[in-house]
Structures are given as structure tokens and as C-alpha cells.
Structure 1
Amino acid sequence: MTSEQPTPHSAIDSVLGILEIEQDPASPDVFSGDSLPQPNGRVFGGQVLAQSLLAAGRTVEDGRLPHSLHGYFLRAGDVREPITFAVERLRDGRSFSARRTHALQGGAPILSMITSFQEDQPGIDYADEMPADVPEPEDVTSALDLLSGIDHPVAKFWTQEAAFDVRHVGGSIYLGPAPSHQGQQMVWFRSRGPLPDDQLLHRALLAYACDQVMLEPILRRSGQSWVTPGLSIASLDHAMWWHRDVRVDDWLLYVQSSPSAQGGRGLGAARVFTREGVLVASVAQEGMVRLPA
């Protein structure tokens, strides 16, 4: 059982503020935004995913929500420099719309992404079930509790600036490798404050949040952790499918795995369930994972 940390609305408010991208008055398909500070000075991948999704969504007619995105992280972004989001309108059909978004710094893309949007329509409806006997999030240790007493700049950053409460079922790999080398993990998370009733925003925030943990199953399966000396890790691409409406200010469960790693790359996969067991999204991400020779 873990104690509930105070909820600093400023952390989630900072994320909401950074997601308020500005439209260019002269070019309605061009937007600009800034970045949240990061300990390494690089733009957080989840942030640029969410911003790019929101930019694309601003060019789509009301009533069409994103159901999938496929993106590539092409360069490391600099948190000190603004980001330009250039949206290309690929197609507007009777039910679907497709958009390509380039996130640019210095005229070069740091992310290139295609998103598909769809009107709400009836059809076949089924889903996998959430694993049974998962501990409730209140009974799982929060990363805020785990890291709050550590006198280290990165630990202080993630406890003071974290917009999401993240809770690893069976223990995290923040401070060392897992006891067994398995590529499966389950993680509860939710925002550290209430959010507006805006489904596009909630889907963007789900993309934002998932980039924090998508590559962790690779580290688990290979017997590594976030503190492995000389570890070099970075997201290469990201694919995401939203199956149903989602709220990230309610508890969500990531059920994760890593089917393969080779050539300095590893693949992470996840299914995202509501607390009630409804499958709301599926995610896949490949990352560069390198260790000292």
C-alpha cells in the first residue's frame, strides 16, 4: 500500500500549456509551439507526438477523432528552440481524413507522422479482456513515493515535474534491474489532476504519457535498468491505435511486452485498459537500445 502524494496541478497544467500550439494567421495549416524543460535538453518524444496530433486535429472537421498514428522520430529536438508543425491534408473522404505532420526545428524535421481520423460509426465490436487479478492502483507503489527521497537531479525532476502518477505492478526498474528477465510488465497511470472534457486532448495526452514507459520491457527482458552504466536509449518510431474513448485523468493499465530485440534495436508493445477492463488503445514503439561494448 502506498500513500497518496499531493496532486500538484502545476505539473499537468504545464503540459496543458505546452500543448496549446499557436496557429499561423497567414498559413492555417502551420502551427508553432514550445517545449517543456528536460534534464538532457532534448525534446521529450511524447510531447512532440501530442503536439503533432493536436496540430493535425485542428485541420479536421468536427466529429472526426484520431484512430491511428504512425510516426518516425528523425532527429533529437532542442527544448530551447520553438517547434513548427506543418500539416499536409492528404485526404478527406466520407468517413476518414488523413493528415501528415512534420515537426520542424531549424527547417529540418524532428518528427514525421501520419494520422488517420474517423467519424463515429457503428460496426463489429469486440476486444481482448484485461488480465485477471491485477492489483488495484492504490495497492501499488507510486514512482513519486519511490523517487521522492533520492537526492539526484533526475529523480527530483521526475517527482517535481511529472504530470502523471506512474505505478509499476511488481516493481519498477528505475533503480536497478528486475529480479527476473521477463519482457512483460504492467503499469497503472493517470494524470496528476483533472482535465477538460475534450476527447482529442485526452487521446493526445495518452500519446504523451505512453512514451515514458514503452521501451521498458526491452530493458526488463535484457536484465537492464534505467541506471545501467553507459545505457543509450531513444525512441525511433511510434504507432498507436485508439479503439474507444479514453480519459487519462482516470486510472489506465498498460499491459506491455517486448517480442524482439536485435541490432541495437528493441520493440515494445502495449495494450491500454481502463480500470473497468475496457480496451481503449494499442501501442507499438521501436527504440534504439545500446550498451557499452
Structure 2
Amino acid sequence: MHQALQSLLDLLDLERIEEDMFRGQSRSAFVPRVFGGQVAAQALVAAGRTVPADRPAHSLHSYFLRTGDPGAPIVYNVDRIRDGRSFTTRRVVAVQHGKPIFHLSASFQAYEEGMEHQAPMPEAPDPETLPTAEEALPRYREVFTEPRVVESMLATRASVDLRYVDEPPWGSVGTPREPRSQVWFRTRGKLDGPVDDPLLHVCLATYVSDMTLLDSVLLAHGRGGWAVGDVVGASLDHAMWFHRPFRADEWLLYDQESPSASGGRGLGQARIYTQDGRLAISVIQEGVVRVPR
């Protein structure tokens, strides 16, 4: 297993300090805040560990309340809202320095048969034909505000093989484009043996889902984002629906678009497909998107 992937798995392996209380650590970061995808994934791990294994997660709804401190542990308090015949609901509050920084509600469902339909998978090139982050990011070093931006992005994505289908926002600064972006992603290594847990695959997809969703907002305005210093942004809320089983260690297409930006906020919505065309996840996120003055 890739060392960076093992490091991420260790990050998601929370310490249980009480029956419904867990403690997580953060990875070192170049930016002075905890990556939002990490907090969301850890909160879902905490919720899932209080739910029977035969009830996979089918949705989550969350709010980012305060900036997380990467130098301090995060405590996740789980509230067992409901245990029904088909559905189980959990609420999780992430606390740091005595204050809540993140709130998540998650729902889990026992498997059952039902009606079936889905939106068709959009066209996209074979992910193996696209450049890796290690090949692509250094090309933009002169565009970024600081040289360490490349290292920061590579460190954040070291556990995940994430490949852009088209130019990322910082590759076309000053040229507005259609507010749509596609990336392929999978973990850097197979999840075999004891770590091959359906909850873990869902939590890893949650981790990645916060990396690029607001790119489509930036594309509509020809902005490059924090990497080039022309936008100040942060995630506000994040929602996901898990429709069908998938594996985070196999290629997933993240098809993203932005229907709206206003009031200093931008909305991103997306669908995540397996490589064979099954719609696995729907995602919606709103974030702060401000132009510096």
C-alpha cells in the first residue's frame, strides 16, 4: 500500500475515548487550517462506528462552523438520534478548543429492493490517458502566488490519484469558461484485507469530494482560486447521497458544475460515477467565494 494512503487510513482510524465519543488527529498542512474533507470523513467514521455494519450510509448533511486547527486533536461527539426498522440516524459535532467546528447529520439504511433509474454517465476520456498530479501541477508553478502551493497540493492529494479532464481553474485565469469540471480519482493502492470495509470506501469518497467541487464556480469567472490569490474561499455546507455500492480504490468520475454564484457564495453540484457507468453518489456544496479587495 502507498505510504500516503496508509497515512490517510491511520487518520480515519479514530480513537474511541467513550462509547459515543471519538478523537481524531490532523495531518500537517501548509495552510493554517484543517482540510474540510478530512473533518467530514472523520465525522462520518464516528457516526458509522455506532451503527450496525449491515446498514450502510445513504446520506450526509453537514455545516462547517469554524476553521479547524491542524495542530490540535478533534473530538467527535455522536448523538444516537434514531434507530428504526429500516433507517438509523446519527448527529455528530466536532469540537476543538471547547468550541464546535463542524456539524454532521448522517442516515444509514438496511438494504432493500426498490425502483431503479439513473442519469446517464457523461462522456469522459480514459483516466489512464490523463496526466497525474505530479506531472501536471509543476507546470503551473509560475502561476501560483507562492512556490510552496505545488507542494501543498501534492501533499493533500498524495493518498489519492486525482486527474483533471480539462484545464483546472488556475490553468485558464482571466478566461471565463463553462462552469463545469471533471476529474477522475481513486486511492493510491488497493484496499485489501481488514481495511476493505464499505464504510471506509464511503468515507474516502467523502474526503475527496471536498477537493474540487467549487472549481466550477471559479471557471465561470476566470478565477484561479486560493492557489493564485484571486479568490478567498471556504466550504460552508456539504451534502452527499450514496446511491449504489462503489469502491474508492477503483476509478470514479467526479462530474461537477455550478448553477449559481451570488452574495459572496458559490454553489457546486456533482455526480460521481463508477467507470462502468453506475451513478454512485450525488454531491452539493456551497462555499464562500469572495474576490479580495
**TM-score normalised by length of structure 2:** 0.92
Q: Secondary structure at the match of 1:23?
A: strand
Cα distance, 1:143 vs structure 2: 2.1
Within 2, Cα distance between the matches of 1:286 and 1:160? 24
Secondary structure class of the residue paired with 1:84: strand
Asked if the contact 2:58/2:242 (under 8 Å) is kept, the reply is yes
Q: Please state if 1:172 is matched with 2:168.
A: yes
Unaligned runs of 5+ in 1: 1-7
Letter in 1 for 2:71: R
Q: State the shift of 1:236 in Å.
A: 0.3
- For 1:70-89, what aligned pairs fall within 5 Å after superposition? 70-89=61-80
Name the CA distance, whole Å, in 1 between partners of 2:174 and 2:122: 21
Q: Which residue in the other structure is 2:148 paired with?
A: 153
TM-superposed CA distance for 1:204, in Å, is 0.4
Counterpart position of 2:115: 124
Q: CA RMSD in A?
A: 1.6
For residues 197 and 115 of structure 1, what CA distance do their matches in structure 2 show? 21
Q: Secondary structure at the match of 1:206?
A: helix
Contact 1:176-1:228 at 8 Å conserved across structures: no
Cα separation, 2, equivalents of 1:178 and 1:197: 44
Question: Aligned letter for 1:23?
Answer: R
Cα distance, 1:142 vs structure 2: 2.2
**Identity over the aligned pairs, expressed in percent?**
45
Task: Give the deviation of 1:178 after TM superposition.
Answer: 7.5
Query: Counterparts of 2:4 and 2:92 in 1: how far apart (Å)?
Result: 27
* Residue aligning to 1:16: 9
In the alignment, what sits opposite 2:269?
A: 269
1:181 is displaced (CA, Å) by 1.8
Decide which of 28, 32, 47 is 1:41's aligned counterpart: 32
User: What is the total number of aligned residue pairs between the two structures?
Assistant: 283
Q: Which deviations, in whole Å up to 9, do the C-alpha atoms of 1:169-227 show, x marking residues without a partner?
A: 12222444285421111111111111232110000000000100011100011110134
Using the alignment, how far apart are the partners of 1:181 and 1:80 within structure 2?
38
Higher-helix-fraction structure? 2
**Deviation larger for 15-24 or 188-197:** 188-197
SS of the aligned residue for 1:284 comes to strand
Instruction: Write the letter of the residue equivalent to 2:125.
Output: P
Could you tell me how far 1:160 is from its partner in structure 2? 4.5
Q: Deviation at 1:231?
A: 1.9
Which residue pairs with 1:187 in the alignment? 183
In the alignment, which residue of structure 2 is the partner of 1:5? Answer: none
